[in-house]
Amino acid sequence: MSEFTRSIFKLLFIITFFAFGTWLVYFTGGTGYAYPYVILLPILLSTAWFGLPGATLGAVAGGLLIGPLMPLDVSTDTYQTIDNWLARIAFFLLIGVFSAGILQSLRLANQRHLHALEIDHKTGLGTQAALNRDLKRLLRRTSQDNPPSSAILLVRMQDLWEILQSMGADTAEQVVKDLANQITQNIEIPHQVYRFSKSELAILFSVESQEEVDRQEKVGAVFDIAKRVGEEETVVKGIPFRVQIVAGSYLIRDNDQNPEIVINRARTGLSVAIENNVPYRRYDPMFDQKTAERVQLIARVRDGLVKQQFQLFYQPKICMRTGRHVGSEALLRWFDQDNKMVMPGLFMPKVESTSLIDPVTRFVIAKACENIKSHNLMSVSINFAIDNLMNSALIEELGRIVASYGVSPESLEIEITEGALIRDPEQAKTAVRTLRDQGFKVSLDDFGTGYSSFQYLTHLPLSGLKIDRAFVENLETSADARTIMESMISMAKALKLEVTVEGIETEEQRKIVTDLGADLVQGFHYSRPLPLTVYQQWAKARS
Ligand code: C2E
Ligand code: MG
Ligand code: MG
């Protein structure tokens, strides 16, 4: 409904209210009785809706309606004196003008308050509230005849948290301010930069073009500018900073009406970019479907945990020096509502990006401890996701948890992945140190598939390294593969790490890695991961 139509409706309502008031005064006997002041209500209403002009007009109209033509007493047909109704008009005017003044000052205070909420005082940029306001205006203006020509880019400053931690809030704010200034100076099309959250900027900009491809390209170009600006050095307090940027974008469509949906779509693009470890993603409707599927999966996993649908399977580890079975890796298996076995690759990557990873891992710890205790298992390794390693409460508590089952920490080994070491090397190092101090072995899983830098290995108090099975596949046919394996094993040994090679499927592979010096192997050649009872039978048969 347009503003004009809304005003007409308001006016009609006020007129009806006046008519009703006048009728009531007449019907109840005239102005000599209690009802004349009912006319004050439509006067106040027109003040609230139409300000001072409304107050003045309303007061005069109200005063006249129950003025010269309205009897003082209908039953005796006595009329009011002029002074009487003129005084009433003056009184109505006074009340109208007075309330208009109060309302106006309340509105101004409210506006000032809203304005304060729309400005980020640290950087002078508009806030999320300002973005909402501007988007609302923009979407109101768009229609099929006037299609939208704007896009939004949500930019996360990845390392801002570290700057904040190491250099303090003032420096971090200055870095954000400089970055926003640089972006503004470098983007040539009309645009506005907002401080969306502590570590996020939003850029609302115009992308005039008939062709969708062209418009998407323009959005990509704005991201390129933000990225380049982030990569350039900003000097704050004499220290040079660079900000790594990741972003999501959304091109506004003509049927978009809700600013929140527009923002959420850019945010979805950003989340997908972060999840896929790429610097930029534009929103795709497929993302929402995937999000819905993921939400459903997470709910089913949560439910499965309550209904005890999870089990641990055990895959033996064999010592190459003695040929003996020395322990196992516990691997999670989910038997869903149809009792169908679901492999961890289908749900763990999704679980790992939610808070559900904590209860899942606590279940794995509890189950592994129960099994170690009741079945006298040899050393068992369990897998920790990045968030588990970053969860200092869990890391510090682990010794106590394990002790509560009467299990010694030497019986449990923790496998971590390189992702945690990359995400926060310092915290990862503290966590590994804390685990080692409590007596747990900690090994690095899937070595070689990620960033594979030996450099950080030297700084970490790890006990072992597991070389990923990707390096095993070509051992029999490729001399290069053997050389790579050899160098990985010898470097790990130089760092005094116990080396496990994963994914051994053939006798030939076993022989090669044994010759190259692997300490332990794990793979289908010996056994697939087995349910607890089958694993025990396997172990018994081998001993
Ligand atoms: P991972 O920790 O590297 O575990 C080894 C995976 O390789 C297991 O897959 C195992 O079945 C498979 N494997 C072992 N030997 C061979 C072989 O000779 N050939 C082949 N082709 N594969 C072999 P699975 O059980 O499907 O687990 C996959 C991944 O899921 C694990 O990789 C681990 O990253 C994750 N995962 C499993 N259980 C847990 C858990 O309790 N917590 C967490 N956070 N992750 C888990
Ligand atoms: Mg593992
Ligand atoms: Mg592995």
Q: Mind listing the domains of the chain with CATH numbers?
A: 3-118 (no CATH), 128-289 (3.30.70.270), 312-542 (3.20.20.450)
Q: What's the confidence (pLDDT) of residue 424? A: 81
Ligand nearest to the CA of 473: 1
What is the C-alpha separation between 297 and 303, in angstroms, rounded?
10
Task: Decide: 332 in ligand 1 pocket, CB within 6 A.
Answer: yes
Distance 280 CA to ligand 3 centre (A): 29
Residue pointed to by tokens 């899983």: 445
Task: Decide: 343 in ligand 1 pocket, CB within 6 A.
Answer: yes
| Residue numbers in the chain where pLDDT is lower than 50 | none
Q: Whose CA is nearest to atom 46 of ligand 1?
A: 383
List of E strands, 81-172: 150-157
- What residues sit around ligand 3, an ion, with C-beta below 5 angstroms? 445-446
Do 241 and 174 contact (CB within 8 A), yes or no? no
Task: Decide: 383 in ligand 1 pocket, CB within 6 A.
Answer: yes
Task: Decide: 472 in ligand 1 pocket, CB within 6 A.
Answer: no
Distance 541 CA to ligand 2 centre (A): 25
pLDDT in tens, 293-305: 888 999 999 999 9
Residue pointed to by tokens 């409304």: 54
Distance 381 CA to ligand 2 centre (A): 8
Q: What's the confidence (pLDDT) of residue 144? A: 61
Do 436 and 404 contact (CB within 8 A), yes or no? no
Q: Whose CA is nearest to atom 21 of ligand 1?
A: 503
Task: Decide: 469 in ligand 1 pocket, CB within 6 A.
Answer: yes
Q: Whose CA is nearest to atom 27 of ligand 1?
A: 344
What is the C-alpha separation between 524 and 502, in angstroms, rounded?
9
The one-letter amino acid at 442? V
Ligand nearest to the CA of 446: 3
- Percentages helix, strand, coil for the chain (3-state, rounded to 5) are 55, 20, 25
Ligand nearest to the CA of 448: 3
**Count of other CB atoms within 10 angstroms of residue 492:** 25
Distance 328 CA to ligand 2 centre (A): 10
Q: Whose CA is nearest to atom 12 of ligand 1?
A: 503
> Ligand 1: which atom is nearest the Cα of residue 344?
30
Distance 447 CA to ligand 3 centre (A): 8
Task: Decide: 356 in ligand 1 pocket, CB within 6 A.
Answer: no
Pairing status of strand 239-241 against strand 200-206: unpaired
**Please, which contacts does 517-520 make with residues 24 or more away whose CB atoms are closer than 8 Å?**
517/486, 517/489, 517/490, 517/493, 518/320, 518/467, 518/489, 519/319, 519/320, 519/321, 520/317, 520/318, 520/319, 520/320, 520/326
Ligand nearest to the CA of 467: 3
Measured in whole angstroms, the distance separating CA 299 from the mean position of its chain's CA atoms is: 18
Task: Decide: 316 in ligand 1 pocket, CB within 6 A.
Answer: no
Task: Decide: 500 in ligand 1 pocket, CB within 6 A.
Answer: no
> Ligand 1: which atom is nearest the Cα of residue 331?
38
